[in-house]
Structure 1
């Protein structure tokens, strides 16, 4: 076991991890806020823009399964810093491609950005889980709420930047570079590794073969689809299904996002009091009921209540899944990598598949598929129960 060097105070580390989450969300929202300018700069239609953004998804999907091993070898501090640098470099290259009207260069930049997003995401979740374990109380949902705060901030800055037609190269890469520098500084407060690479080799086993890890992955997949479906289709479902104005659909989505944010802020109180499994069972039930109310509600009050209940129900599955995957520091990095891969694949693949289904049965009715997925989510919640870390066995 390695135990050298001064350990930063837990409060300092907690704040550093929260900042890492916020900066990650900030970078993402900064880029998204300029998508209309990226589309017009390259003279793309919506379909072509979607294909362009697929480069980010491909980069992330390739990097996610590999990040756990990388963290095991060089630590979460170095990997988080690497992620921030890759995001900044990727966005610089991508925006240069837009300004020079070279689509291939933008594709390369977005691919690098996707890799950076993945390694940054997994490493900060691994560190967050270790901080949570040291504090001995639930904190992960609030870290994810920090990501939302960062994304809100990035969008809030991006709106006037877009309105004032600020040059892309003076907005996206500059702010991403500033975020990368801040992340580099924040990662310096991360905790030193609990175990060495040699310790991990003593219990070497592929997490892809572990029933508990895969069950957590299934649970996270269902909750991730619940969140992703709302992000991509809720506003359209309200507009198409209830023939409301565009702003009403956007207001419904805003209500959902706000409910998720509140759920992640207050969720730890219930998780610490009642435990993971009961709260997640309640979350799955709430998401199911909320979606049903959204689809079949015959009044603004019922649909609005459904959106709130759905948002609260969808808020905890993903962050609690990250915590559960990281219960054992010996295997935390690789297990979080596996669960992240499954969860983010749902985020990436789910919305397009739902879109294809919506063409046949209707946008609003398609949401019932997500309600149905809350059943396997509830059936796999048992896997999120805390386990005794094997690091204690190695130490003994």
Structure 2
């Protein structure tokens, strides 16, 4: 059975978790870079492919909603191991599907990889909070910087495989094997800090257990933090999916320039995630979040109303800087009470997953009427809502309950 390394330290766990986040970025973006090849092999139009992705995402959302209870029952080590194996199997099937020209096999792969990815997602986010608490300083943004770096590497891997005419099936199966092996190796060598107790058994009746596991969804502060997470993931998802489209369609720039513009957004996020931890320690969570949201508002407005590609790139950079720390701050805020962190972090992760699911189609629907550039301004509504609840990410005043239900004032 896999167990945490007995000699692990918070610093070792931090480095291994950064690597785990980077692997997730590589896996996700290496296959996304081959989407045109996948669509061609499966004979799918853009709307049909979007429908396949939508169906596949349902398994991910359902799993991540239930992940708080799964964490409490099985622990981080087992859940991470299960997620690793399931995700690798799904990625491999996603490669087999195009090789066989089978939409059904590919869809099954999307569903299975999404379930595994959801288990991994909540495991690593919870572990990031435990490592931050063990070190006594802000480090959660470093993990998300690892993901951003992995995203860049994954895009390069996908582009390289495409230029070398490597079949999608070969690439996906290789990525599945390598990512699975590296994740399990990280788990064996100290990724998870020892010492987190599983939840005590409660009344055996199913409805009592269900109520306990879903209680975080009724807490006012948790849901306000989850709103921040939703907006952060929605903002990042819109940029990832629509920036390149906008630069091509609205500014008549070639695809290579559009790709560089997306690189500016990801690069700005990565830079601040690497160096922004001290900003959070200096200003506190709420003030840092407020500055981040204001930067996102100004940057997005500048992009959305720009009349030239140069001005749009400036707005894109400011938007990326603003988006960098919002989700990491939400994850940290959800874990202020360690004994209840699993359920609360799973709520935050769930809202992030749901936001990623709805971002592309929602903006796509508006873009049909307004164009990609102006449709992305819808994110401003969410950013302003997040700004309204931003004070809630600071630790609550001593003596006040963290689990205030929504029905109370």
State the TM-score, normalized to the length of structure 1. Answer: 0.91
Aligned position for 1:107: 107
1:125, distance to aligned residue in structure 2 (A): 0.7
Deviations 1:175-213 (A, max 9, x none): 211211111121231112433322999995710000011
Deviations 1:129-181 (A, max 9, x none): 10011111111111011012222222222222222222333321122112111
Q: 1:163 to 1:244 in 2, by over 3 A?
A: closer
Q: How does 1:1-396 map to 2 (within 5 A)?
A: 6=6, 8-188=8-188, 189=190, 190-198=192-200, 204=212, 206-387=215-396
Structure 1, 324-333 or 241-250: larger mean CA deviation: 241-250
Query: Could you tell me whether the CA contact under 8 Å between 1:200 and 1:331 is conserved in 2?
Result: no
Task: Describe the SS at the equivalent of 1:331.
Answer: helix
Q: 1:159 to 1:350 in 2, by over 3 A?
A: closer
Q: 1:66 to 1:304 in 2, by over 3 A?
A: same
Determine the C-alpha separation between the residues in 1 that align with 2:40 and 2:345.
38
Query: Could you tell me whether the CA contact under 8 Å between 2:95 and 2:169 is conserved in 1?
Result: yes
1:360, distance to aligned residue in structure 2 (A): 2.0
Determine the C-alpha separation between the residues in 1 that align with 2:196 and 2:398.
12
1:122, distance to aligned residue in structure 2 (A): 0.8
Determine the C-alpha separation between the residues in 2 that align with 1:90 and 1:328.
34
Structure 1, 188-197 or 346-355: larger mean CA deviation: 188-197
Query: Could you tell me whether the CA contact under 8 Å between 2:233 and 2:327 is conserved in 1?
Result: yes
Deviations 1:221-257 (A, max 9, x none): 1222211111112222333333444333332222111
Q: 1:26 to 1:244 in 2, by over 3 A?
A: closer
Structure 1, 47-56 or 284-293: larger mean CA deviation: 47-56
**Structure 1: 5+ residue runs without aligned partners?**
none
Aligned position for 2:405: none
Query: Could you tell me whether the CA contact under 8 Å between 2:94 and 2:172 is conserved in 1?
Result: no
1:266, distance to aligned residue in structure 2 (A): 1.5
Determine the C-alpha separation between the residues in 2 that align with 1:358 and 1:241.
11
Q: 1:316 to 1:5 in 2, by over 3 A?
A: closer
Task: Describe the SS at the equivalent of 1:197.
Answer: coil
1:118, distance to aligned residue in structure 2 (A): 0.7
Structure 1, 231-240 or 8-17: larger mean CA deviation: 231-240
Query: Could you tell me whether the CA contact under 8 Å between 2:75 and 2:198 is conserved in 1?
Result: no
Query: Could you tell me whether the CA contact under 8 Å between 1:129 and 1:140 is conserved in 2?
Result: yes
Structure 1, 214-223 or 87-96: larger mean CA deviation: 87-96
Determine the C-alpha separation between the residues in 1 that align with 2:26 and 2:5.
32
Q: 1:214 to 1:200 in 2, by over 3 A?
A: farther
Q: 1:389 to 1:87 in 2, by over 3 A?
A: farther
Query: Could you tell me whether the CA contact under 8 Å between 1:328 and 1:387 is conserved in 2?
Result: no
1:259, distance to aligned residue in structure 2 (A): 0.8
Q: 1:91 to 1:273 in 2, by over 3 A?
A: same
Task: Describe the SS at the equivalent of 1:20.
Answer: helix
